[in-house]
Structure formats: C-alpha cells, structure tokens
C-alpha cells in the first residue's frame, strides 16, 4: 500500500475507532502528518489526559504509551511497535532508586518522564525537560534530591537552579553522542545562526562555553522559540526528527542539525504502516498494573500540573 493510500486508511480507521493519534516530535514526517497532536513528552501527557477519545494511538516510545495508560486507566492505549523502547529509560532500575531512598529516608526523588512505570511509582514527582527547572526550584531546600535518570539534564537543572542534586549516571545514547566538536564545526560554518540545544545533549556546559548565547531548550521550547525569533537560521542539537516540525511551524527559516545522524532508532520503529495496522487490528495495547499505576499517577499528575 502506498503512502497516500495508507494515510487515507489511517484517517478512516481513526474516525471509525473514535481514536486520537499522539505523536512525538522525533517521529517520521509521515507519522507526524496523520497525528492529531505533535509535541514533547509534557504536551503529549497533557493531551492524553484531556482527550475524549476512547482509543489513544501513541506514536512514540514505550514509556510514553505507559504514561498515557497510567493517566487514562479507562481508555485503550496502543503502541504500534512494542520494540520502540528507550535507552535512557532502560539505564535505570527500580532497585537503584530503592537503594538511594534507603540511604536517604528524607530524600526526594525527581524522575524524568523518560523512565519505566515502576520507577515513576517510586518517585515523588515526575518532570520533563520543559518543566524540570521549575519543578526542582520549588522543592524544599533542606532535603536531599535524587534526579534520575539523565545526568546531562540533571546537571543543567542543577546549574540553573543552584541546587545540589544527586545525579544518576544515565544518558540518552542519541543526545550523549552530540559532542562539543560537532558544535564547534557548525560555529565556523554558520557564524550568524542561533543555536538551540536540548539539555540532554552530551556537550552540556561545554556547549555554553563555546556558544554563550545558545539556548538550552526542550523540543517544545525549540519550536516556540523558532516561531517567534527574528533569526532566519538555526543550528539544532537534538534528534533530527524535530526538523520536520520546525520547518512546518516556522516556514521560511533554515534549520541545520548539529549532527545529521542523531537518529533514535527506537522512535523510527513507528512507521505509517504500523500505525495503520495498530488501528486496524487494535494492536498493541499497553497497560500498567494498578498497584504500580496508582503510585505513578501521583508523580505524573504533579508533572502535568506544572509549567
């Protein structure tokens, strides 16, 4: 089936199933085009919570579908490919959090949304890259804080808030691969461009040293900034799937990836054909046991309420 016919069938089945398609900004362009909403983890979580649709097709990775299932226990949440995982989420085990909590009984656990449901259930609050700074800044000053699992995002939050955080040494393999040398090369070839850098990137503070006026932004922050900025050219340090959305929402502007091969193979497992099959066959349903979901829901609802 060609792309045009697949698109028509997806839209037909979506109406027939009374479904909504939520897609992350790193998804393939053709998947983004059939989605009802395209956004970052925070925006997608909010849309999942408020949608009246009976079926949610989640074009993203497994922890995102889990999040939607936790927030919508009475709805069917479908993930078109169960192998669409996350190297960052897989870097942290519940046992790691439990060990820290045992050593710090008064501690607060802040879990990045890129975590498994079992970890969210142990957290006091969940955050996304869009609201992590705001959430951490509000936490009590006299209690130790564990930030899991992304050490680069955690270091960014600590730098901006001035808070001392215990950081788990986890990383996204795609963002960790974006290094200072990649940024430096683009500084020379695009001297007039604005630089947009995701806080998960491995270059971290080194990027800000090389380019002090670079903007550390979540994926949604990049889109908002690009829309309103007067600049016409932007160098973008994150997974390259966002380039489609940036070009669509900020037409007439140029977006250059810091690392053209910064591709998440897990995100790209979701194809238009798999979205079609997911709707046609109602596959694959993602659920979370209520004893886990109930505890994780508190941390997620606190995340959705901020920012």
Domains for the chain: give ranges and CATH numbers.
3-84+267-288 (3.40.50.10800), 88-171+295-304 (3.40.50.10800), 174-257 (3.40.50.10800)
pLDDT digits 0-9 by tens, 139-197: 999 999 999 999 999 999 999 999 999 999 999 999 999 988 888 889 889 989 999 99
Q: pLDDT at residue 306 above 80? A: no
Per-residue model confidence (pLDDT) at position 212 = 83
Binding-site entries: 24, 41, 86, 112-114, 129, 172, 198-200, 219, 264
Residues annotated within the binding site for iminosuccinate are: 24, 41, 112-114, 129, 198-200, 219
Annotated binding site for [4Fe-4S] cluster: which residue ranges? 86, 172, 264
All residues at 6 or more sequence positions from 240 whose CB lies less than 8 Å from its CB, including other chains: 257, 259, 260, 261, 262, 263
Dist. CA 241–CA 75, nearest whole Å: 28
Mean pLDDT for the chain overall: 94
* The overall pTM is greater than 0.85: yes
pLDDT digits (tens, 9 = 90+) for 79-104: 999 999 999 999 999 999 999 999 99
Q: Do residues 41 and 57 touch, judged by C-beta distance below 8 A?
A: no
Q: How does pLDDT run across 271-288, given as a tens digit for each residue?
A: 999 999 999 999 999 999
Nearest 5 degrees, angle CA 130-CA 142-CA 106?
Answer: 90
Strand order in the sheet with 37-39: 37-39, 19-24, 55-59, 76-78
Q: Is 124 helix (H, G, I), strand (E, B) or coil?
A: coil
Which two structure tokens, joined as six digits, stand for 278?
Answer: 């997911």
55 near 278, Cβ under 8 Å?
no
Could you give the angle at which helices 219-228 and 242-249 cross, rounded to 10 degrees? 30
Cβ count within 10 A of residue 200: 27
Nearest to 176 by CA among 151, 159, 195, 158: 151
Distance between first and last Cα of the chain: 42
Tens digits of per-residue pLDDT, 23-66? 999 999 999 999 999 999 878 988 988 999 999 999 999 999 99
Position 209 pLDDT exceeds 80: no
């Amino acid at each position: 089936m060609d792309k045009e016919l697949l698109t028509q069938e997806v839209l037909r089945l979506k109406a027939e199933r009374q479904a909504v398609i939520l897609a992350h900004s790193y998804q393939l362009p053709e998947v983004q085009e059939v989605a009802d909403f395209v956004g970052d983890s925070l925006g997608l979580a909010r849309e999942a919570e408020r949608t009246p649709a009976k079926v949610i097709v989640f074009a993203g990775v497994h922890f995102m579908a889990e999040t939607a299932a936790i927030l919508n226990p009475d709805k069917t949440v479908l993930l078109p490919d169960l192998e669409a995982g996350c190297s960052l989420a897989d870097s942290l085990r519940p046992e790691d959090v439990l060990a820290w909590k045992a050593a710090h009984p008064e501690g607060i656990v802040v879990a990045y949304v890129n975590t498994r449901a079992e970890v969210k259930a142990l957290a006091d609050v969940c955050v996304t890259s869009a609201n992590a700074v705001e959430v951490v800044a509000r936490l009590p000053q006299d209690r130790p804080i564990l930030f899991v699992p992304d050490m680069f995002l955690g270091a960014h939050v600590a730098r901006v808030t001035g808070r001392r955080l215990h950081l788990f040494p986890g990383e996204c393999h795609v963002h960790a691969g974006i290094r200072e040398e990649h940024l430096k090369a683009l500084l020379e070839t695009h001297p007039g461009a604005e630089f947009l850098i995701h806080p998960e990137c491995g270059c971290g503070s080194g990027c800000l040293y090389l380019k002090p006026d670079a903007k550390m932004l979540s994926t949604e922050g990049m889109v908002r900034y690009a829309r309103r900025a007067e600049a016409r050219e932007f160098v973008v340090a994150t997974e390259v799937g966002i380039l489609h959305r940036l070009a669509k929402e900020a037409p007439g502007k140029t977006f250059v990836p810091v690392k053209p091969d910064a591709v998440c193979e897990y995100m790209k497992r979701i194809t238009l054909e798999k979205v079609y099959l997911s709707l046609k066959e109602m596959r694959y349903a993602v659920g979370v046991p209520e004893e886990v979901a109930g505890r994780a829901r508190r941390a997620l609802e606190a995340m959705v309420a901020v920012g």
